[in-house]
Structure 1
Amino acid sequence: MKIYYVTTLQLHNEVYVIHEEGCKYLPNFLNRKFLGHFPSYEEALKESKKIYSTSIVCPFCINEKLFTNKS
């Protein structure tokens, strides 16, 4: 299981971004909220949407896997 966080500051397009622990774009501890340990980013995103309905996944630490795993 991996550890996930969500940003607590909205981006300019009014979204909140979830990151895996270790992402180089993970904000400092003052600007993020611990989501928990999840088996997949999909589960972390579901949890984040309970807090911030406009949550999205980080295009660097999570979406990169989506693009490299497509057949």
Structure 2
Amino acid sequence: MKFFYISSEPNQDNLFEIHDRDCPQIPNAINRDYLGPFNNGSEALRTASRNKTNVTLCGSCCQGETASIIFKDKISH
């Protein structure tokens, strides 16, 4: 398992980036929030998307995984 964090400030695309603990581009401790331990970035992304509507995975530490996710309210039929 890896430990994941989310930036508390959006990037230039107005997305909050998710990083693993060992990422060279992780924000400093003041500018990030702990998400928890996950098997991969996709799991961290799913959890983060419950609290924020515009989240994305870091291109450096989460390569090869889904890049971003933006949710809108679901309409029940």
TM band (smaller chain): 0.7 to 0.9
**Greater relative CO, 1 or 2 (CA 8 Å, sep 6+):** 1
User: TM-score, normalized by length of structure 1?
Assistant: 0.85
Partner letter of residue 46 of structure 1? R
TM-score w.r.t. the length of structure 2 is: 0.79
**Unmatched 5+ stretches in structure 1:** none
Q: Kindly, what percent of the aligned residue pairs are identical? A: 28
* Deviation (angstroms), 1:12: 2.0
CA distances 1:7-63 after superposition (whole Å, capped 9, x unpaired):
000112110000011101000010000000011211100011112211000000111
**Displaced runs of 4+ in structure 1, greater than 6 A?**
none
In structure 2, what is the equivalent of residue 36 of structure 1?
Answer: 36
CA-based RMSD of the aligned residues comes to 1.3
- Is 1:26 the counterpart of 2:26? The answer is yes
Structure 2: segments with no counterpart, 5+ residues: 66-77
